Structure formats: C-alpha cells, structure tokens
Structure 1
Amino acid sequence: MEVHIKLTTKFFDELLVSLDDETEFVNKIRGIGSAHAILAKGSNFSSDIWERLGEIAMERVCSHEVVTKTREASRAWRTLIAILIDELRGGFEGELRQHRKSSSTDQIEMGKMEDEEELHAKLQQLRMDYNQTLPYT
C-alpha cells in the first residue's frame, strides 16, 4: 500500500507539471486508468471505485486549511479532482471494452477452430465408414 501511495504522489506531481499541455495531461490520466483495467478481470474492481476515490479525494483535499482559506483554491482542486476521476474512469472503461472485445474475438476464433476440428473429425469418420463399405478386392 505504501508503494501505491508513493506512486500516486508521484503521479500527482507529474500531472501538476503537465497542466499546461492538455493532451499530455489527459493521456497520463487515461493511461493510469487503463492500466487498472486488468484488475477488473479477477476482482470486484469496477468503475464505481473511481467514484469512491473521487469522493474521498474531495473530502481529504478540500478539508485542508490551505484549500479552505480561498474559494478559488477550493474550486480549482474540486475541478482538478473531477477531471481526474472522469479521465481515470474513461481510460479504465475504454481499456475494459478493448479487453472484452478482444476476448470475444478470441472466443469466436476458438469457436471457429473447434468447428473446423469437428468438421475434420466428421470427414475422417465418413471416410472410414465409406472405406468399410467398399468390397474387398
């Protein structure tokens, strides 16, 4: 958990540096969101977690004295957190859709391979049945 906290702090530092470049800013956030999509496969990690993270972040960040002193600082942090959560969720859900799509494609391909194998087995059985009906010469 401590490593995750350090990575999150580093992530925020990098985000604040890239605020002037909107494309880089959004891509970094979406990248982190998409990196978490793998967690949805074997656990209860879902889009709802991003909402909960946003609620906790709003509560914790906006309760700091420095932020509560000025209306502008509070508004800026709320806006930043809202954008952050929206883009994290967007990256997460986008990657999740890709996983599901490729998984469906893989299943279709596996189905085709199984169908072909079944067809070959039936053809082989037909040949054997046919060969058994031929008179001996």
Structure 2
Amino acid sequence: MLTIGDLAKSTGVKVPTIRYYEQMGLLTHTERSEGNQRRYSRREQERLSFIKHARELGLTIEAIRELIDLSEHPERPCADADRIAAEQLQAVRDKIARLRKLETELERIATHCHGSQIRDCYVIQALANHELCETDHA
C-alpha cells in the first residue's frame, strides 16, 4: 500500500491532482490507515498512470471516465474506445491546422515590419487593425 505522497512520486502526479481525480470519480476513495492516511493499492497506481497518460494525450475528463468504464468490461468490443481516440485525433488535427494559420500570419506580420519607430511599426498596426491580416485566424 502506498501513501498519497508515495503515489505522487511513483506516478509524477501532484497530490492536489490526485485528490481532484478522486473528487471527479476517476480514482476510487481509498482505504485509510489507523492514522487516517490514505492508502493506495497497485491497481490505483496503475489507474492513475492511465489517467496521467490520457491527460498528456489531451483527453478530457469525460473521455477518460468513459475509457475507465470500458476498461472495466474487457468483454465489450473496442469500438467505443476507438471512437474516443479518433475524436481526440481529429481535435488535435484541428488545433494543428489553427496553429499553422497562426504561424503563417505571425510570420507575415513579423517580417513585414520595416519601420524604425513604433509609429511606423507594422506589427503594432496589424494588431490594431484585423483587416490588415491576410487570413481569418480567429
């Protein structure tokens, strides 16, 4: 059995985050020692590692909750897990596309400035007037 501090060290998840995951129902409320310390099993450590990895991949709490539920029923088909992963992949691709637009526009603005004083600075002008942008990046 691990204390919450040991669990935090072994998984790289901070103690307040562990408590948050308990409140959200992603981790079960654990046993307590006679001294009222939380005690975590290997199963809870594995679950926390699962949650941490899923969060690193950008999955929402709701998606993680659904994946945990699916993992507790190993006889189910994996279509729902595949759907969750595909939805996250699409969300990441959408973010990448938006970031590419931002990159293009920022590069254009940053390299378009040839003024030597702020009153002639294209960066300041472009930020003040969205019509100077070439693309809609909002």
Q: Which has the higher helix share?
A: 1
Say yes or no: TM over 0.5: no
Q: Which has the higher contact order (CA 8 A, sep 6+)?
A: 1
Instruction: Using structure 1 for the length normalisation, give the TM-score.
Output: 0.37
Rg (Cα) greater in structure: 1
